[in-house]
A and B are shown apart, each in its own frame.
Chain A
Amino acid sequence: MKHAATLNVNGMAYPVELEGDATLLDAIREDIGLTGTKTGCDDCECGACMVMIDGRPVNSCTYLALQAQGSEITTVEGLADGDELSAIQSAFLDQGGVQCGYCTPGMLVSAHALLRHNPDPSEEEIRLALSGNLCRCTGYAKIAEAVMAAAKATA
């Protein structure tokens, strides 16, 4: 049974028709067509699917899409301002915080949420905030440095 719904993603309202058990991850990638959000473990372990719901990071692979109606969803595509990269995106590029890139959208979303909540985090706070995001290349040092650099850049 399909349910008609509207999902608000990155400031746009998308009318969609969703199965009751569709995940938010599938709705974003398959129905809306924003493929920046990645399918990793698809089991709430790796954080590749991280999005923000009303400003708070959530694993979209284990969130029912229909529960997100009425909320503001932000994906990695929503972090930039038009063609202008956000501070955290620029810092990941400048500091080499990207290796294969698969975890990067989730890392960016978690880091973005952290900096909005805590503009001047310690390295320990950064590592804790990113602890739900796994990097299979194990490039954590540069990722943490990128978040520190972004915090400095926006201070």
Chain B
Amino acid sequence: MGDVAFHTATTVDEALSLVGDGSDAKVVAGGSDLIVQARGGRDLPANVVAIHRIEALRGIDASGDLTLGALASHADITASAAIRSTWTALADASAIVGSHATRNVGTIGGNVMNASPAMETGAPLLVLDARVTLRSAAGGDRTVPIDELWTGPGRTSAQPGELLIDVVVPSLPAHSGSAYVRLEYRRAMEIAIVGASACVTLDGDVVTSAAVALTAVGPTLLRSPSAAAAVIGTTGDAAALAAVAAGASADASPISDLRANEDYRRAMIGVIAKRAVDVAIRRARGEEFPIPATPVFMEGSAR
């Protein structure tokens, strides 16, 4: 515990002036990542700017494209009927972050800016082609595609003085479906061993477009072009899903760590990617599939 300055900003402009004054201020929303990191040996920053009282950053607007204020919590996302029905992969992901307590404080903005390659919401944001708005006192707003935001584990392309304002997720064509599935060792307070998200659009029975992204198998969240290509033009039959699995394993570049070794991750990412694509196709066909997709799949499915 050290000498930490603490400010609570109540407006975006106030937050921007506090983070833009060259004092290396760190923004905190719910605080869970920041404090857990400090316990892990990293120092807490000397200058903390709390943004949790900025009402303007709190909302979820699903009237056209989906706009998530930086402070939208995982509990808010999980409870949103629009997100559950349209951007379902995101609901699958937020619903399994930590526990109820984590979901009450954890925010989409904190998740995105913490840039963990194991974050649950990252792969869904990739397959849903999300973009973020970064704002600075000097430079105004700029829009960054989510692919260009994450540059490494814990690193983003945001500049000092920039604040994440919102995450925008485009609306989807008709007959689309999405899903996020993770491999987990326990039901709560878990982080993905590996995870995968898929978003597909159908024409009749055939997949006409697909995106697949992978969690915890690289230095950032990864797209898997091979897995996506393997399902386009198919009905998502067993042969196509096997090709999805092979493609995901080929595109992954996992490491060994405390939770799993490289070989296990590479083998499992194929299985999980296949399940994510399968659920996305089922949802695109209008089939009801529980949210979150993860525990039901692990316990009840014969596939």
Contacts and interface: CB of A to CB of B under 8 A. Distances in A.
A, B: real partners: yes
Interface of A: 1, 3, 19-23, 42-45, 47, 50, 53, 56-59, 61-64, 66-67, 69-70, 110, 113, 128-129, 131-133
Nearest to A132: B99
B5 A1 contact: yes
Given A45-B189, A131-B99, A58 B104 contact: yes
Nearest to A46: B189
B187 A22 contact: no
B53 A70 contact: yes
A144 B2 CA distance: 41
Nearest to A42: B39
B44 A67 contact: no
Nearest to A69: B8
Contacts of B39: 42-43
Contacts of A70: 53
B100 A66 contact: no
Contacts of A45: 189
Given A19-B1, A66-B6, A131-B188, A58 B36 contact: no
25 contacts: A19-B1, A19-B4, A20-B4, A20-B48, A21-B38, A44-B102, A44-B189, A50-B101, A53-B104, A57-B101, A58-B104, A59-B32, A62-B31, A62-B36, A63-B30, A63-B31, A63-B105, A64-B50, A67-B8, A67-B50, A128-B188, A131-B100, A132-B100, A132-B101, A132-B188
Interface in B93-130: 98-102, 104-105
A43 B36 contact: yes
A128 B189 CA distance: 11
A21 B4 contact: yes
Interface in B44-85: 44, 48, 50, 52-53, 75
Contact of B105 (A22, A58, A69): A58
A45 B75 CA distance: 18
B207 to A, nearest CB: 33
B contacts with A: majority SS? mixed
Nearest to A54: B104
Contact of A44 (B32, B48, B52): B32
B102 A132 contact: yes
B101 A67 contact: no
Contacts of A19: 1-4
B102 A66 contact: no
B260 interface: no
B158 interface: no
Given A20-B48, A110-B100, A1 B3 contact: yes
